[in-house]
Structure 1
Amino acid sequence: MAFAKAREEIFAAHNEDPNKITINGKEVPYETHYAEKMEAFLSKRDANGSDVLRLAVAAQHFRRWEIPRSSYPMTKVGYHAWRTAQKKRHAELLGQILEKYYPEEDVKRCMALVQKEGLKQGEEEVQVLEDVACLVFLDDQFDEFKEKHDADKIVNILRKTWGKMSPKGHEMALQIPMTDECKDLVQKALNG
């Protein structure tokens, strides 16, 4: 009951995203689409994930459209500042929803997951969330991303993405259908 109510509030917010994407001929809010993709990959990566993990996955980019990337300098430092501010904000807004339904310990854990705290310390649920985010990037965003950047930058990003993932994430990534061009870029990243 708590999970269903919290998820409903999260998706009600996603549905407010003014950015749209067309899926199977139907226009949907981008964040709704993104969250559904995240949930779909989580079900493949860890079908028995805790409520806390499932909610963190659903709210990974919670209300992200409200602070556009262009509101920060278009530099590497600006990008990292924007991402850090976004993660903190996603967690705080999610916490406001979850505190209605879950004990404080669960709320704090979910907020930490959204901020990916403990990723480099081997926290399993944080790693699962990171794998899922990387898989969604490769499955849903990579083809468009490669059109905006040169091959060297793409290969570098792919190496960084690969480095964030677990062996299970790697296995799943290699099963994602990709264009020949995308496959070639992935192979360059893995072989370099």
Structure 2
Amino acid sequence: MKTIPFLNASAWIDAENEADPNNEIDQDVTYPKELLYSDRMYERLMDYNPNASEAVQIAAKAQHICRWKIARESYPMDRVGYLKWREDLKKFHAKTTAEILEKAGYDQAFIARVSFLIEKKSLKKDEETQLLEDVICLVFLEYYLDPFVHKHDREKMKNIIQKTWNKMSDKGHQEALKINYSEENLQLIKEAIGL
């Protein structure tokens, strides 16, 4: 049974993401890009771990909240610029979500926990941070790997897959191998992870 604060926070997160000016088409339907990402994150989480806490559920939905407001192009187009952009995004997503949770009536301890998860602190050490990271990686592999493959060469893709794989738990790895990839992408994954 979902609580009133959870239902309100979810609706407000969706409303924020619905304002995304960027669109993505999924099965002939056009969606605001970050709303679609949020829905995919939430669905994958509930499929992967139906008993996930309310804090993880919100962190999954709000993982990319209003992401378009901080453009990658506003940072130097190098590795340092990329890392700074990612770091600033995490803080921005956490702060934006914290404001929504406060409005929804959550206490400070809960809000701090959601921020901790969105900022992906204590990866590999904190069980819920790891759960969220697994879901992020699974969503990437299922929905966003293929567009990446068409943009980057094989060696770069293998590197991206290895980095993704290294962030995941053993359970995440097992789940990732159940995804329905194209024959080419499955081959690429197997090469990257040495299967």
Q: TM-score range with shorter-chain normalisation?
A: over 0.9
**Mapped pair 1:102 → 2:112:** no
Q: After alignment, is 22-31 or 159-168 more displaced?
A: 22-31
SS state of the match for residue 150, structure 2?
helix
2:160 matched to which residue of 1? 157
SS state of the match for residue 62, structure 1?
coil
Identify unmatched segments of 5+ residues in structure 1. none
Q: Which string of whole-angstrom CA distances, capped at 9 and with x for unpartnered residues, describes residues 96-153 of structure 1?
A: 0111221100000000100001114x10110010000000100010000011111111
Deviation at 1:45, TM superposition (A): 1.6
Moved over 6 A (4+): none
1:117 matched to which residue of 2? 121
Q: Which string of whole-angstrom CA distances, capped at 9 and with x for unpartnered residues, describes residues 149-178 of structure 1?
A: 111111011111001001111111001111
Residue 79 of structure 2: which of 76, 89, 101 is its match? 76
Residue 185 of structure 2: which of 178, 182, 186 is its match? 182
**Mapped partners of 1:73, 1:60: distance in 2:** 23
Q: Tell me which amino acid in the other structure corresponds to 1:10.
A: I
- The normalised TM-score by structure 1 is 0.97
- The normalised TM-score by structure 2 is 0.95
How many positions carry a matched residue from both structures? 191
SS state of the match for residue 141, structure 1?
helix
1:133 matched to which residue of 2? 136
**Mapped partners of 1:30, 1:36: distance in 2:** 10
The CA RMSD over aligned residues, in Å, is: 1.0
SS state of the match for residue 60, structure 1?
coil
Q: Which string of whole-angstrom CA distances, capped at 9 and with x for unpartnered residues, describes residues 2-48 of structure 1?
A: 10000000000010000001122221101111011101110122101
Q: Tell me which amino acid in the other structure corresponds to 2:86.
A: R
**Mapped partners of 2:136, 2:6: distance in 1:** 21
Task: Using the aligned pairs only, state the percent identity.
Answer: 42
1:24 matched to which residue of 2? 27
Q: Tell me which amino acid in the other structure corresponds to 1:40.
A: E
SS state of the match for residue 91, structure 1?
helix
**Mapped partners of 1:149, 1:76: distance in 2:** 16
Identify unmatched segments of 5+ residues in structure 2. none
